[in-house]
């Protein structure tokens, strides 16, 4: 029997095609330092040169893709339509020369493909589309673990439209030594620079590694007379009070007046009272007293692991909100909703959190408002809050609140672990 296979030998000397790794679209966020433009009419390349918004240590250079290059990326695309979007029409792609003339400093490049790295360590890309993140020089960029929330009620449905970004800022395991400080910090109405902020606390309660309850605690509000700057007349509005006053209102059992808020306050109050070693369970307004007492005694006995996540909400500006709500079905926004189908039950929808980039401007009191927001990746890579558990703890992703250190030297590094 022969050991030689002629069919295998036939093409042995032909060079083999190298299997190439598939390249996918990226999203590149740049703080522009300068534009390198070619002379008009020469057919040369225009470049935006700067640094990554999400990692300022990374140097970047980006040019725009040609029609032919983009057709290679997307072979099934309509070439005539693509050419029109690049070269003509009301909504055509803006050139880098036009960005330079407008002195744009913050650009998100969508559909970016890596070209390599220069000898000076500059990462180079070509990109499908350059989107201005902010036109005004005073704009700032925030990034971190967050979600983009767009809600537009259907015709006749209850509720009102809303558009905001929510960031998770810190994650702190608490006990009686630091729970108050963590809540005060999370509910603070001003940041470290004195700017107004819209923050709240997410209290997550674990037993034996399993999350049993989550309560969102918002700042208390008090009626305050304010003067209209335009007309000069006064009106009464309910404004959030400072963090310390909000925590005291919570512990005193002050009612918010909304059952869905008060029931979460009942849970948080029972947990905090147990941690502070109070003698009896506190007053419960909406939650069944025996259920609140169960959490109180569990916390008092040290049988519960409690995590406080400081969250911050940033509303879109009025004009930006209208623009983003029109784009509510875009996959990069709709992807923040995680749908889970359970056999025999209805589909559950949970809000997911992932790497998110936001450009902001500020009101006169310093309160930020969003003018641009996007997932950091080409499409959102998100997880619902409940999925950040012992296998993927928030305590390993977010920093601990520096204003709420625990006095004990040794404690669990993550919920239930």
Sign, CA dihedral 172-173-178-180, equals positive
**Short-list 132, 125, 145, CA closest to 54:** 145
Q: What DSSP letter does each residue of 23-45 carry, written as one string? A: P--EEEEEEEEEEE-PPTTS---
Report whether 280 contacts 289 (CB < 8 A): no
Say what the pLDDT of residue 340 is. 84
Question: Using CA atoms, how far apart are residues 393 and 240, in angstroms rounded to an integer?
Answer: 30
For 356-379, letters b (16+ CB in 10 Å) and e give bbbbbbeeeeebbbbbbbbbbbbe
Q: Which of 369, 389, 315 is nearest to 163 (CA)?
A: 315
pTM over 0.85: yes
Q: pLDDT tens-digit profile of 325-337? A: 999 999 999 999 9
DSSP helix/strand/coil, 297: helix
- State yes or no: pLDDT of 228 exceeds 80: no
- Predicted confidence (pLDDT) at residue 2 exceeds the cutoff of 60: no
Tokens of 200: 């709240």
pLDDT band at 120 (very low <50, low <70, confident <90, very high): very high
> Which of residues 39 and 243 earns the better pLDDT score?
243
Helices (H) and strands (E) counted in the chain, each on its own, are 10, 16
Q: Output the pLDDT for position 62.
A: 98
What pLDDT is attached to residue 157?
Answer: 77
Is the pLDDT at 413 greater than 60, yes or no? no
Q: CB–CB of 28/125 below 8 Å?
A: yes
- First CA to last CA distance, the chain: 64
Q: What average pLDDT does the segment 170-195 reach?
A: 97
Higher pLDDT, residue 230 or 15: 230
pLDDT at 308: 98
Whether pLDDT at 16 is above 70 = no
Q: Average model confidence (pLDDT) for the chain? A: 90
Planar angle of CA 401, 407, 409, nearest 5 degrees:
100
- Percent over 70 (pLDDT), the chain: 91
pLDDT at 400 over 50: yes
What pLDDT is recorded for position 342?
75
């Amino acid at each position: 029997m022969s050991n030689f296979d002629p069919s295998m030998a036939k093409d042995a000397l032909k060079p083999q095609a190298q299997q190439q790794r598939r390249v996918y679209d990226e999203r590149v966020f740049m703080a522009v330092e300068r534009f390198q433009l070619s002379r008009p009419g020469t057919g040369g390349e225009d470049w935006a040169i700067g640094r990554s918004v999400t990692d300022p240590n990374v140097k970047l250079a980006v040019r725009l893709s040609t029609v032919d290059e983009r057709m290679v990326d997307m072979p099934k695309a309509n070439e005539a339509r693509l050419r029109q979007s690049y070269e003509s029409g009301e909504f055509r792609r803006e050139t880098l020369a036009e960005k330079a003339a407008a002195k744009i400093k913050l650009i998100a490049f969508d559909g970016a493909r890596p070209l390599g790295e220069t000898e000076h360590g500059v990462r180079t890309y070509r990109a499908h589309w350059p989107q201005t993140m902010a036109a005004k020089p005073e704009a700032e960029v925030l990034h971190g673990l967050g979600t983009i929330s767009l809600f537009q009620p259907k015709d006749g449905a209850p509720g009102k439209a809303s558009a905001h970004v929510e960031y998770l800022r810190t994650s702190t395991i608490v006990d009686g030594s630091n729970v108050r400080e963590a809540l005060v910090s999370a509910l603070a109405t001003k940041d470290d620079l004195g700017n107004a902020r819209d923050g709240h606390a997410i209290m997550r309660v674990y037993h034996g590694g399993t999350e049993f309850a989550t309560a969102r605690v918002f700042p208390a509000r008090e009626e305050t007379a304010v003067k209209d700057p335009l007309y000069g007349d006064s009106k009464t509005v309910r404004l959030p009070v400072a963090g310390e006053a909000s925590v005291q209102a919570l512990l005193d059992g002050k009612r918010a007046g909304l059952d869905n808020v008060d029931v979460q306050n009942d849970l948080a109050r029972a947990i905090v009272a147990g941690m502070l070693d109070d003698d009896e369970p506190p007053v419960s307004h909406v939650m069944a007293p025996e259920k609140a007492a169960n959490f109180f005694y569990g916390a008092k006995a040290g049988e519960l692991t409690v995590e406080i996540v400081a969250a911050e909400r940033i509303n879109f500006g009025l004009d930006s909100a209208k623009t983003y709500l029109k784009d509510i079905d875009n996959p990069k926004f709709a992807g923040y909703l995680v749908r889970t189908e359970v056999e025999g039950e209805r589909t559950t929808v949970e809000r997911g959190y992932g790497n998110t980039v936001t450009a902001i401007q500020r009101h006169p009191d310093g309160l930020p408002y969003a003018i641009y927001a996007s997932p950091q990746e080409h499409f959102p890579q998100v997880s619902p809050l409940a999925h950040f558990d012992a296998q993927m703890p928030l305590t390993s992703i977010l920093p601990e609140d520096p204003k709420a250190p625990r006095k004990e030297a040794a404690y669990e590094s993550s919920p239930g672990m």
